Structure 1
Amino acid sequence: MQSRSITLPGTVFSFAILSTLFVLWTTVLPMVDGRGWPRHIEHLPILLTHIAGGVLMITLGACALFLGWNRRALGWHRWVGRAYLLSGSIAALLVIVMAATVPHEPQSLYVATGTLALVWLAVAAMGWRAARNRRFASHREWMIRSYVLSWTFVGCRLATTVDFYPWLGIEGVTAAIWVNWIVPLVACEIALRWKEGAPVARPDRALSPDGLQARRLSRSTCL
């Protein structure tokens, strides 16, 4: 049972890293080296700053999660976590700015990405607040949610390169972005809350054999 509990998160974490590397190579790199600049020339400084913040966010978030998961170098975990929150906040705020100013179609796409940025900021703030108040179990859960949302920015980039819903036309990109950040967040919440829905042990099952025998004797004495 212990090996399974380690393997599943490790598999999901590895998938997040590999998919991030794929998006960096296929989508982010062409933007940084100038191939995608002409289309975004009017808002290029904001976009490049957002990309830098996003790359730092996904990288530092993975490092902070790994350090916290292994409970090693917790001093480094705190500083890396702070850098993650700072870079992610910059990237998310710039998403909101672009959602309000960028003229590309479809405009509904920016409602989806802007909402994602607001949710990331809220979740990250809850994780930071829990850590400040030394509620580390709550902090751990909020930061797991935060990193899931960080990865969904990768999912959103996938949504702009893969036509998931061709029958929706140009609005298919918007639909894919909504799905690509809401579904992982819901799946994360189910995983975090799974044990809370487990069967409740009956009182007799919770007792040791000696305790169960003592209960039976007390019942027979009362009769």
Structure 2
Amino acid sequence: MATDTTTDAAPDTAPAPRRPAVRWWRRPWIAPLAVITAVFLVTTLPRYVGLDPSQALLPVGEVGDRGPAYYPALVTHIFTGSVLLAAAVLQLWPWLRANHPRIHRWSGRVYVVAAVLTGIGALVTAQFPSEGPSQRIANSLLAVLLVTFTLLGFRAVRQRRFTDHRAWMVRSTALAFSIVANRFWGVLLVVTFAPSFDGDMASSPEALSAAAASAWVSWVVNLLFAEWWLQRKPKKRTRAQRAR
């Protein structure tokens, strides 16, 4: 997937000319992103590997009767979401894209399949929110947009519309990492608006509202940042600066 940060001047149906590989220090965010993703997966995934519902972050029987489809959908969402995040890191790695385009293409296909399955799983689990209707709407919309943006990006690359492909996949990736951002926003909002929170959501309306708000903030902020990234005008560098 084309995720470089320049704007194509060539016709949209023609691939951009092959450019020299970008040095890792010119993309300093890729290593921290990989580390954050690894930490997130290591701390989240083990709860679901044993397929024990009691180990889930949201116990299956905690909020009413969630039905027999809930836990399978949750596990599907977690497992395919883990693959999605790992594939996204590979897609965003400029060195891999420049030096191993075949791996880049195959990891892109994996990303598309994982995004669709993750979105479907999220759409099912979103119907059983622990923080009320607001969270249901936020997570449902997130799931729909993730699948839609990913499929639009896949269609664009199949039609060799590389600029459109890049834009849709940047948006898709921003939504994919909203689950990671939600850990940050959830804590920040709860600490800000419910400083006396003792861990019991039912006894703290403020914490409940903060957690529901984080479901919106985590992906809306990511998407706004992605749009800024796509619309910004990169600074032109001189030949001497490019040679450094």
Q: Do these two structures clear the TM 0.5 threshold for a shared fold by scoring above it?
A: yes
What letter corresponds to residue 148 of structure 1 in structure 2?
Answer: A
CA distance in 1 between partners of 2:183 and 2:149 (Å): 21
- Following superposition, the deviation at residue 143 of structure 1 comes to 1.4
- The answer to whether structure 1 residue 77 and structure 2 residue 104 are counterparts is yes
Give the 3-state SS of the residue equivalent to 1:105 in structure 2. coil
SS state of the match for residue 195, structure 1? coil
User: Following the alignment from structure 2 to structure 1, what is the Cα–Cα distance between the partners of residues 140 and 81?
Assistant: 14
Aligned partners of 1:60 and 1:83 also within 8 Å: yes
**Is the contact made by 2:153 and 2:165 (CA closer than 8 Å) also made in structure 1?**
yes
1:73-127 Cα distance to aligned partner (Å, 9 max, x none): 2222222111110011101111111122x25333321211111111111211221
Alignment partner, residue 88 of structure 1: 115
Counterpart mapping for 1:1-223 below 5 A: 10-33=27-50, 34=52, 36-37=55-56, 39-40=59-60, 43-66=70-93, 70-100=97-127, 102=128, 104-160=130-186, 163=190, 165-167=192-194, 168-195=206-233
CA deviations on 1:165-186 (whole Å, 9 max, x unpaired) are 4343301112112111111211
Q: Please say which of residues 171-180 and 153-162 is displaced more in the overlay.
A: 153-162
Where 1:141 maps in the other structure, the secondary structure is: helix
Whether contact under 8 Å (2:119, 2:147) holds in the other structure is yes
- TM superposition score normalised by structure 2: 0.68
SS in 1 for 2:60: helix
Structure 1 segments of 4 or more deviating over 6 A? Answer: 5-9
Query: What SS is found at the alignment partner of 1:39?
Result: coil
Shift of 1:48: 1.0
Instruction: Name the structure where helix makes up a greater proportion of residues.
Output: 1
Alpha-carbon spacing, 1:172–1:32, altered in 2? closer, same or farther (3 Å): farther
Task: Give me the whole-angstrom Cα distance separating, in 2, the residues matched to 1:24 and 1:155.
Answer: 13
User: How far, CA to CA, are the matches of 1:175 and 1:78 in structure 2?
Assistant: 36
8 Å contact from structure 2 (residues 153, 169) kept in 1: yes
Which shifted more, 179-188 or 8-17? 8-17
Query: Helix, strand or coil for the counterpart of 1:104?
Result: coil
Contact 1:53 1:88 survives alignment (8 Å): yes
User: 1:120·1:150 contact (CA, 8 Å) conserved in 2?
Assistant: yes
RMSD: 2.9
Call closer, same or farther: CA 1:180–1:14 in 2, change over 3 Å: farther
Q: Highest relative contact order (Cα 8 Å, sep 6+), 1 or 2?
A: 2
Q: How many residues align?
A: 193
* Runs of 5+ unmatched residues, structure 1: 199-223
Q: Which has the larger radius of gyration?
A: 1
Provide TM-score, normalisation by structure 1. 0.73
Cα separation, partners in 2 of 1:9 and 1:169, compared to 1, 3 Å = farther
Q: 1:111 to 1:11 in 2, by over 3 A?
A: farther
- Equivalents in 1 of 2:172, 2:193: separation in Å? 30
8 Å CA contact 1:99–1:110 kept in 2: the answer is yes
Which sits farther off after the overlay, 68-77 or 44-53? 68-77
Fraction of identical pairs, as percent: 27
Quick one: structure 1 residues 7 and 46, their matched pair in 2 at CA, closer, same or farther if it must change by over 3 Å? same
Structure 2 unaligned segments of length 5 or more: list them: 1-21, 195-205, 236-244
Distance change in 2, residues 1:104/1:179 (3 Å): closer
